[in-house]
Amino acid sequence: MIETLIKRDYAKRINKEIHPMQRGIDLIEMVRRVAPEIADPGTTALQEDSLVDIAASRTTMADFMAGQIRTVQQLTGILLKGKLIDKEILPSECPVCGGVRCIKLTSKAGKPYHRCPDCNA
């Protein structure tokens, strides 16, 4: 899995360490906006707990996978409804507060505006 991330430019190897590249950082930010529960470290912890339960025969792989399938279906539904557009993937600097999570948008009238989660501008 790590080699795939490196090959697709989501991460890079520096000496013996793995470091995120901008593309990987942008992907995580997008996932945090579109499906925050997936990017939550608590979700990973629960998945690891489930795998321990499977190993101890307290639950089944089928039950675990059913939950994973539901999560993927929800995320796929969000993506297919067009709630993620390319403009949202590339945050920029906010002209008001200087934050780096500002999203440039265009109104229906074709006028540019921005939305910043740091200053609510």
Same domain flag for 95 and 53: no
> How many angstroms separate the Cα of 28 from the Cα of each of 8, 49, 50, 63?
14, 23, 23, 27
pLDDT tens, position by position, 40-53: 888 889 999 999 99
Q: Which amino acid is at 17?
A: E
Same domain flag for 20 and 69: yes
Same domain flag for 67 and 22: yes
Q: Which amino acid is at 33?
A: R
Same domain flag for 42 and 96: no
Mean pLDDT, residues 81-93 taken together: 58
Domain interval for residue 100: 91-121
CATH code of the domain covering residue 7: 1.10.460.10
pLDDT at 57: 96
Q: Closest Cα to residue 34, out of 97, 100, 94, 81?
A: 81
Same domain flag for 102 and 68: no
Burial 49-60 (b: 16+ CB within 10 A, else e): ebeeebeeeeee
Same domain flag for 51 and 77: yes
121: buried, middle or exposed (CB in 10 Å: 19+, 13-18, 0-12)?
A: middle
Same domain flag for 20 and 60: yes
Angstrom distance (rounded) from CA 89 to CA 100 = 12
Residue 22 pLDDT level (bands cut at 50, 70, 90): confident
Contact 69, 59 (CB under 8 A): no
